[in-house]
Amino acid sequence: MGVTVALVAVCFVLCCCYSVCQTHNSQQFRNTTFVRYCFLFGFPPPPSVLLLRPFSFLPLCLFPSQFPPPSCFPFRPLIPLKDLVSNTNHVRQEECSKAQRYLRKVDREIHYLTKALRRAELRVWQAELLEFITANHSSASCPSSTPSWQYPYPSHIPLFPDEASSLVNIFLPAGANAVHSILSMDTLPLSFRVAAIGLLIWPESLEQFKGTCGMVAVLCVAAQWAPEKFASLFATIFTRRSFEYRFGWVDLPSDNWLLGRLGGFMASWKEYKTREGDDRVKQVVHFAMARALMELWSLTDNGALYSFAKQFSQQFNSLDLKTGDLALEAIHIRYLLEDIFGAKVFGVPGVQITPGKNDWRGDFERLVREVNGCFQDKHVFPKPFALAGVNGFNEAMRLEVEVDQPYIPREEARFTHWVIITGEILWADGYYLIPVWTYQDRYTLLVHESVVDQYFIVAEYGSF
């Protein structure tokens, strides 16, 4: 019984060997290889194979060491172990690199899709809350004193801490009073009032045009932390002839002075800024509230600096002052926050390396220390904010990939964009992780410590 099993096993092995040999194109090669397998296992080859070409196998039988094994499985040509290991490691490294690049690409796509889904969910949340507020508002009473002023749909969206505080602020007295004030302007179309309240609910939905980044950043933090001042600004633009700033009230030159100037900007818009329906109303309200800041500020005691903003704007090749584009320096950001919204502001200035040239660096160590302290110390900064003037956002940092190359200036200005820093700045493996908001979205910028001072030039931070 045991002998029978052994013979069956041997026959099975020989069949497998012969099948492997059939993969080669040469009949002579297949026969020679099969004969070698037979001798390897201690059995003579089948006579049918030997009878085909008997003399061709004689050298193999007499001198087997002179004929190296064929390259088909399971035999391979002899390779030095060192070269084999080296080649194997090289192949593995290439495969690992390809796999890592692919995984990073997949992670990035997942990250972008997650952000898009999050924004879509927040827009749904905003729309539901707007519908609830407008349906339950009564012009005879302030929502903050109405017992039924409770949002019945608990949010299932995981929020960042500052997002949560902004969305919850709408139910606090200041936010509720601002909503009531805006909804009570019965002379305005409801769509205009709803567009403004939408910004109080979710300030980060504020639309940002090309050359208004500084004003948009100021308005965004004001909508989050100073809702009543925000409502007052809305009323000034659309219903009254005066506005309040740090040192009192200022009258507008005429009834249509402000709307006339804003309308002139919008009349010069190109197609990329034109929309239809409700989006058009939102666009008008968002642009008007942001751009009106500098127009109103020009009437104050510090208004002489308005011309400085125009001079700064002329350093950008891409800006068009006729359409409302206006680039702001750090001093404009500070005075807008202080004069219009009553904030307490501190600054981190940049350093000009080469006098007379566009060669500026930021004091980033100081910026990190003071901005992080602003977000950490809730007693000194109960409603913290931070804005930064940066370089290279659209060219490098917006993709949220590692930035480790020096910044190459494309404009004459010392910095090219304003962003809101939304939280503490972290450090890991030589890179700073900087959370920011701009263009209606959040980004985590990864900038190497050796070049970060070329990208972050100035900062203005403080509290309301």
For 320-354, how does the pLDDT look when each residue is reduced to its tens digit (9 = 90+)? 888 889 999 999 999 999 999 999 999 999 887 77
Of 403, 383, 404, 389, nearest to 436 by C-alpha is: 389
310 confidence band (pLDDT: 50, 70, 90):
very high
More confident residue, 306 or 14: 306
Residue 147, pLDDT score: 35
Statement: residue 155 has pLDDT above 50? no
Residue 81, pLDDT score: 52
Q: What is the dihedral of CA 232, 233, 235, 241, to 10 degrees?
A: 110
Residue 8, pLDDT score: 55
Residue 386, pLDDT score: 97
Of 398, 387, 248, 257, nearest to 328 by C-alpha is: 387
Tens of pLDDT along 187-204? Answer: 899 889 999 999 998 899
Residue 254, pLDDT score: 86
The separation between CA 380 and the C-alpha centre of its own chain, rounded to angstroms, equals: 30
Residue 337, pLDDT score: 95
Domain boundary residue among 66, 82, 104? 66
The total domain count for the chain is 2
Tens of pLDDT along 400-453? Answer: 888 999 988 777 788 889 999 999 999 998 999 999 999 988 999 999 999 999
Statement: residue 260 has pLDDT above 50? yes
User: 34 in a domain, yes or no?
Assistant: yes
CA atoms within a 13 Å half-sphere pointing along the CA-CB vector of 320: 11
The dihedral sign for the CA sequence 152, 154, 157, 160: positive
Residue 462, pLDDT score: 96
For residues 44 and 14, is the Cβ–Cβ distance under 8 A? no
Residue ranges of alpha helices (H) inside 347-386 are 364-376
User: 411 in a domain, yes or no?
Assistant: yes
User: 311 in a domain, yes or no?
Assistant: no
Residue ranges of alpha helices (H) inside 63-160 are 81-136
CA-CA distance, 461 to 375, in Å (whole number)? 10
User: 175 in a domain, yes or no?
Assistant: no
User: 354 in a domain, yes or no?
Assistant: yes
Q: Is 407 left (phi over 0), alpha (psi -120 to 50) or beta?
A: beta
Domain boundary residue among 34, 66, 98? 66
More confident residue, 156 or 464: 464
Q: What is the DSSP letter of 257?
A: H
Statement: residue 77 has pLDDT above 50? no
Q: How many CB atoms lie within 10 A of CB 177?
A: 17
More confident residue, 173 or 79: 173
List phi, psi (to 5°) of 389: -90, 120
Tens of pLDDT along 228-242? Answer: 999 999 999 998 888
User: 15 in a domain, yes or no?
Assistant: yes
Domain boundary residue among 11, 39, 66? 66
User: 235 in a domain, yes or no?
Assistant: no
Tens of pLDDT along 357-375? Answer: 667 889 999 999 999 999 9
Tens of pLDDT along 12-63? Answer: 555 555 444 444 444 444 444 444 444 444 445 555 444 444 444 444 444 4
Instruction: Identify the domain containing residue 41 by its residue range.
Output: 2-66
User: 380 in a domain, yes or no?
Assistant: yes
CA-CA distance, 404 to 425, in Å (whole number)? 17
Mean pLDDT of the chain: 76
Residue 73, pLDDT score: 38
For residues 239 and 246, is the Cβ–Cβ distance under 8 A? no
The pTM of the whole model exceeds 0.75: no
